[in-house]
Amino acid sequence: MIEAMDLTAVNWARAQFALTAMVHWVFVPLTLGLSFLLAFFETFYYKTGNPEWKRITKFWMRLFAVNFAAGLATGLILEFQFGTNWSNYSWMVGDIFGAPLAIEVLFAFFIEATFFAVMFFGWERVSKRFHLFSTWMVAIGSNLSALWILVANGWMQHPVGMVFNPDLGRFEMQDILTVITSPVAISHFIHATSSSFLFASLFVLSVSSWYLLKKRHLQLARRSIVVASVFGLAFSGLVILSGDQAAYDNAHLQPMKLAAMEALYRGSEPAGLVAIGVLNPDKRPGDGQTAFDFQIHFPFMLSFLANRELVSFVPGIDDLVFGNPGRNIEGVTEKIIKGKAALESLALYRTAKKNNDHAVAEQHLTTFRTNENYLGFGYLKSPEQTVPHVPTVFYSFRIMVILGFLFPLVCLVYLYLAMKDRIFDQKWLLRFGLLLIPLGYLASQLGWVVTEVGRQPWAIYNILPVNVAQSNLGAAAVQTTFFVFLVLLGTLLTAEICIMLKQIKIGPEEK
Amino acid sequence: MALVWLIIWFALLILSLKGAEYLLKKIDEL
Amino acid sequence: MLGFDHLQLQQIWWIVISLVGALFILMSFVQGGQTLLATTARTELEKTLIVNSLGRKWELTYTLLVLFGGAFFAAFPRFYATSFSGAYWVWMLILMTFVLQAISYEFRKKPGNLLGSRTYEWFLFINGSLGLFAIGAAVGTLFTGGNFHISETNLITWGNPARGLEALLVPFNLAVGFLVVFLARVLGSLYLVNNLSEEGGLVDRLRNAAFNNLLAVLPFLLFILYRWITMTGYGYTENGEIILEKGKYFQNLLAMPVPGLGFLLAGLVLIVLGVIVTRFTRSTKGIWAGGPGAVLTGVALFLILGLNKTAFYPSRFDLQSSLTIENASSSLYTLSAMTLVALAVPFILAYVSYVWRLMNSEKISARDIENKKSHDFY
């Protein structure tokens, strides 16, 4: 149906989306988490009337504002980019995908935009109560934003609630509630926000550590550490639980992604969970080589993660690509055949309809409907195309999880020492604390890498491959905008970091 | 199930606020 | 779902988009103020006053732009896909100027901002001039047409290598661009006169600017009105065939006497009234006429684009590829669902207005700026 388009252009478009999305994601987690911390700090001010809490709130709010602006600037790019660079995607699934994005603007952005002005500029203009309300609304608005984006992304990972319209050649929404309450959408929302809350806590811990090392603002640092470490500790549990849920969902809804995360080529029952490992760089699907040069694994644990049953089958990449009739797994070759049949009968249906040949059209439509679930496979050239880049997914997942278990321990240590008032002299901890920001950013970005690289080649899982989703632009145009964004966003990011460092150096206003 | 996750999320928000308040009071820093 | 048929919902959503577009024109006073920064502010303090006045509102304009795009994506996805990918350079240009705007308010006065405050002021100027101009020209192409072909298999091909920039060769598009920029400066002056406290010469200069910029608007406005009477518009028949109709847009104004011609005339009168009051009296209430006037004018402009069987995004390259509200829209289900969502809009307008009144209850004065620490304001 869609003629094969310039492959180089696709890769530049993917690179551009990855670049702009990852830069945006530098700023979002801090906004999501720090907004609630601000609400906490200001709630304490409101309850106690102690101006010290106002000072603390205003200090962190200054950093928040710088970060927030950069988040807005980079977010706009993504909204436009679906249209500019992925027009085929926009047409084919816009009937479903456009709705959560529009709802995000109505229900989240307007809240953020309106109440941010009050929070930042309204200290002397509105009542204490309304100002506190505004601060909470900024947090709620930002997190609502995350909800709708993850509903949209969740739909990409697990498309539900829609039907294909053969006359218009697009998908159409049938049930918006199914889309909104999709288990993938909700578990990813919980995971993305919880990990963002954890990140924001690490940020506060890190900046506070620097002040403690410099023997400045000791009281502010201690108070901030107590609040942030409680926040981080509380949500790190939810990060892990929701992460587990996401992996369980993957096993059933996106088994190839889970297999890639584990570099599991040969499915097994039971299957072990690889803790750490080094991949064999020459390994390809179906070649019989060992996948690992070295690995340490927990027996039974992948079966348990995937199926919540210690002895159960987990399909590997080879099973999913080449099929495994014993396990009721259809090979991709068969799917491609069905997919091509679907595409063919769709084209024949449309021709017959155009010629007013209704009986023939009806026939082709029936054939189409039999194979329509394989429509996306019809665009693939080879079964191996369904395998995402295993090393990227495998290593990213591992690093993220290891950090994800480390961070709550760090929060716990900070909390304990801050409560005992012994944190000032723990130079070793405080110096390590300076690394929390880069480590936090790493874990945060890798999460998206796992889920987005892991869903390749699909833009919409099993339905629309990335190669068919792009706009009809030449590679030159996309290359140009890629480099323009690189320079623009590089400068923006550098400026933002310089400003943040300077603001941290300046510190809170004098008492 | 979605509802359960969301309820836990909200509950943790309130819990962290209250928890922090409690601990701050304990060390006289509220 | 709601008892409306598909066509009715398509019309409702074109009206929604018209309203959003009109509100954006109103809120473009922020962009107008950003260019007034260069032409009316004489001291650092005056610059800071203007930036801080605009700074409390810039996110609302930004959000309206996002809403405009988002509403198109949700309600008329074929337009979103065709225009954004087809007129690639135009949308990328608009995008870049708004990215620059978004960081400039926050970064301008911050130590360590890497580029210096002048540069960020330039970014604001570029956004208010080039960015807004490009938006105006893009709106112009809704009248004069794009250059696209949509195949049976939904492949979008843009027929001109300039990918959208060729719009700048069409006088009508240029006129809309200039109109939007100068109108924004008019509205910006009216807003700043209302929001800044009357000290120094700044407000007097802004009063003059309101008048001068209105004079600048006039030739472009007259040209556009003239062209609406004479230009060939794009209508469509009952079975969806696109046809050329001379003077289509003027006909649309007459076919919708109240929201078309009525709003247009009332809107223009109100804008002129607002400017006269601001320039020739000491009143600061000009924006209360000019603002609603801009909204009425904007609504009229967008309504005649898409209603009354008009193709809202014509294609000069392939006539039958032209987009109408009937062939570019989402499904009946999606439009219904979105209409339910849109019921929240009055509520949104309510809290936005409430906060607006709270924050604007006092004018911004030099004392506000001088009292606060440098990091507490823009």
Return the domain boundaries, chain A: 7-254+389-506, 261-387
Query: Mean pLDDT, to the nearest integer, of C245-266?
Result: 96
Under 8 Å between Cβ of A101 and A79: yes
A186 with B13: Cβ contact below 8 A: no
CB within 8 Å of A214: residues ≥ 6 apart: none
Chains that touch B (3 or more CB pairs under 8 A): A
How much is the pLDDT for C368?
Answer: 82
Going by their DSSP bridges, the two strands A292-298 and C242-246 should be labelled as unpaired
A494 with C156: Cβ contact below 8 A: no
How much is the pLDDT for A360?
Answer: 95
C154 with A169: Cβ contact below 8 A: yes
Q: Transcribe A493-504 into DSSP letters.
A: HHHHHHHHHHHH
Whether chain B has a CB inside 8 Å of the CB on A434: the answer is no
How much is the pLDDT for A6?
Answer: 63
Angle between helix axes C77-86 and C58-75 (nearest 10 degrees) is 110
CA-based nearest distance C358→chain A, Å: 7
C228 φ, ψ to 5°? Answer: -60, -30
The domain ranges of chain B are: 1-30
How much is the pLDDT for A124?
Answer: 87
How much is the pLDDT for A502?
Answer: 97
Length of chain B in terms of residues written: 30
How much is the pLDDT for C375?
Answer: 65
Under 8 Å between Cβ of B12 and A235: yes
Query: Mean pLDDT, to the nearest integer, of A226-233?
Result: 98
Q: What is the DSSP letter of A470?
A: S
Pick the residue of A12, A86, A110 with the most C CBs within 10 A to test the interface with C by mutation: A110
Q: Which amino acid is at C315?
A: S
A102 with C333: Cβ contact below 8 A: no
Closest-CA residue to C2 (of C330, C336, C332): C336
Angle between helix axes C202-230 and C248-255 (nearest 10 degrees) is 100
Whether chain C has a CB inside 8 Å of the CB on A475: the answer is no
How much is the pLDDT for A314?
Answer: 97
Distances (CA, A) of A387 to A133, A248, A264, A328, A392: 48, 19, 12, 19, 12
Q: Which residues of A touch C53 (CB under 8 A)?
A: none
C110 with A74: Cβ contact below 8 A: no
Closest-CA residue to C323 (of C163, C87, C3, C26): C87
Closest-CA residue to A332 (of A372, A287, A381): A381
Bridge partners, residue C158, by sequence: C148
ipTM above 0.95, yes or no: yes
* Region for C119 from its dihedrals, namely left if φ exceeds 0, alpha if ψ lies in -120 to 50, beta otherwise: alpha
CB within 8 Å of C232: residues ≥ 6 apart: C244, C245, C246, C248
Nearest-Cα residue of chain A relative to residue C343: A106
A423 φ, ψ to 5°? Answer: -80, -20
Closest-CA residue to A121 (of C247, C195, C308, C126): C195
pLDDT in tens, C162-184: 999 999 999 999 999 999 999 99
* Residue C91, pLDDT above cutoff 50: yes
Pick the residue of A231, A241, A249, A415 with the most B CBs within 10 A to test the interface with B by mutation: A231
B20 with A421: Cβ contact below 8 A: no
* Residue C134, pLDDT above cutoff 90: yes
Element (H, E) at A276: strand A273-279
Element (H, E) at A39: helix A7-48
C74 with A499: Cβ contact below 8 A: no
Query: Mean pLDDT, to the nearest integer, of A83-92?
Result: 96
Nearest-Cα residue of chain B relative to residue A233: B16
How much is the pLDDT for C241?
Answer: 96
Tell me the two tokens of residue B27.
């060390």
Closest-CA residue to C221 (of C260, C264, C255, C262): C264
Whether chain B has a CB inside 8 Å of the CB on A306: the answer is no
Distances (CA, A) of C125 to C5, C8, C37, C128, C185: 45, 41, 8, 5, 12
Q: What is the DSSP letter of A109?
A: I
Whether chain C has a CB inside 8 Å of the CB on A126: the answer is yes
A172 φ, ψ to 5°? Answer: -130, 140
CB within 8 Å of A450: residues ≥ 6 apart: A261, A393, A396, A397, A400
pLDDT in tens, A260-294: 999 999 999 999 999 999 999 999 999 999 999 99
* Residue C269, pLDDT above cutoff 60: yes
CA-based nearest distance A238→chain B, Å: 8
Query: Mean pLDDT, to the nearest integer, of C96-108?
Result: 98
C359 φ, ψ to 5°? Answer: -75, -25
Burial of residue A213, with CB atoms counted within 10 A of its CB: 0-12 exposed, 13-18 middle, 19 or more buried: middle
Helices (H), chain C: 6-27, 29-40, 44-55, 58-75, 77-86, 88-107, 117-126, 132-144, 171-195, 202-230, 248-255, 263-280, 287-306, 332-342, 345-359, 366-371
Whether chain A has a CB inside 8 Å of the CB on C57: the answer is yes
Whether chain A has a CB inside 8 Å of the CB on C88: the answer is yes
Q: How far apart are CA A441 and CA A202, in angstroms?
A: 10
How much is the pLDDT for C330?
Answer: 97
A181 with B2: Cβ contact below 8 A: yes
pLDDT in tens, A93-107: 999 999 999 999 999
CA-based nearest distance C102→chain A, Å: 5
* Residue A1, pLDDT above cutoff 50: no
Q: Which amino acid is at C202?
A: L
Closest-CA residue to A11 (of A434, A497, A478): A478
Q: Which amino acid is at C118?
A: R
Under 8 Å between Cβ of C36 and C189: yes
Q: How far apart are CA C221 and CA A219, in angstroms?
A: 62
Under 8 Å between Cβ of C343 and A106: no
Tell me the two tokens of residue A493.
């990011």
Query: Mean pLDDT, to the nearest integer, of C190-216?
Result: 95
Tell me the two tokens of residue A124.
């002397």
Pick the residue of C48, C52, C66, C89 with the most A CBs within 10 A to test the interface with A by mutation: C66
Chains that touch C (3 or more CB pairs under 8 A): A
Q: Which residues of C touch A473 (CB under 8 A)?
A: 85, 88, 163
Q: How far apart are CA C56 and CA C45, in angstroms?
A: 17
Q: How many CB pairs under 8 A join A and C?
A: 251
How much is the pLDDT for A2?
Answer: 45
* Residue C374, pLDDT above cutoff 70: no
Across the interface, which of C75, C95, C342 has its CB nearest the CB of A80? Answer: C95
A234 with B16: Cβ contact below 8 A: yes
How much is the pLDDT for C216?
Answer: 98
Q: How far apart are CA C109 and CA C126, in angstroms?
A: 18
Whether chain B has a CB inside 8 Å of the CB on A178: the answer is no
CA-based nearest distance A347→chain B, Å: 40
Whether chain C has a CB inside 8 Å of the CB on A495: the answer is yes
Q: How far apart are CA C355 and CA A219, in angstroms?
A: 35
Nearest-Cα residue of chain C relative to residue A469: C155
Q: Which residues of A touch C162 (CB under 8 A)?
A: none
Under 8 Å between Cβ of C312 and C331: no
Whether chain A has a CB inside 8 Å of the CB on B30: the answer is yes
* Residue C235, pLDDT above cutoff 60: yes
Look at residue A294 and give its three-state secondary structure. Answer: strand
Nearest-Cα residue of chain A relative to residue C93: A481
C284 φ, ψ to 5°? Answer: -110, 10
CA-based nearest distance C107→chain A, Å: 7
* Residue A5, pLDDT above cutoff 70: no
Chains that touch A (3 or more CB pairs under 8 A): B, C
Q: Which residue has the tokens 């064999």?
A: A280
* Residue C196, pLDDT above cutoff 50: yes
Tell me the two tokens of residue A369.
């409907």
How much is the pLDDT for C372?
Answer: 72
The C-alpha angle with vertex A319 and arms to A245 and A321, in degrees rounded to 5, equals 100
Average pLDDT, chain C: 96
The C-alpha angle with vertex A371 and arms to A366 and A373, in degrees rounded to 5, equals 125
B12 with A226: Cβ contact below 8 A: no
Bridge partners, residue C23, by sequence: none
B5 with A190: Cβ contact below 8 A: yes
In this prediction, residue C369 has a pLDDT band, given cuts at 50, 70 and 90, of: confident
* Residue C200, pLDDT above cutoff 80: no
How much is the pLDDT for A330?
Answer: 96
Query: Mean pLDDT, to the nearest integer, of A55-69?
Result: 97
CA-based nearest distance A361→chain B, Å: 42
pLDDT in tens, A366-391: 999 999 999 999 999 999 999 999 99
Interface subset of C 289-318, CB within 8 angstroms of A: none
Whether chain C has a CB inside 8 Å of the CB on A85: the answer is yes
Whether chain A has a CB inside 8 Å of the CB on C133: the answer is no
Q: How many CB pairs under 8 A join A and B?
A: 59
pTM of the model: 0.96
Pick the residue of C95, C101, C123 with the most A CBs within 10 A to test the interface with A by mutation: C95
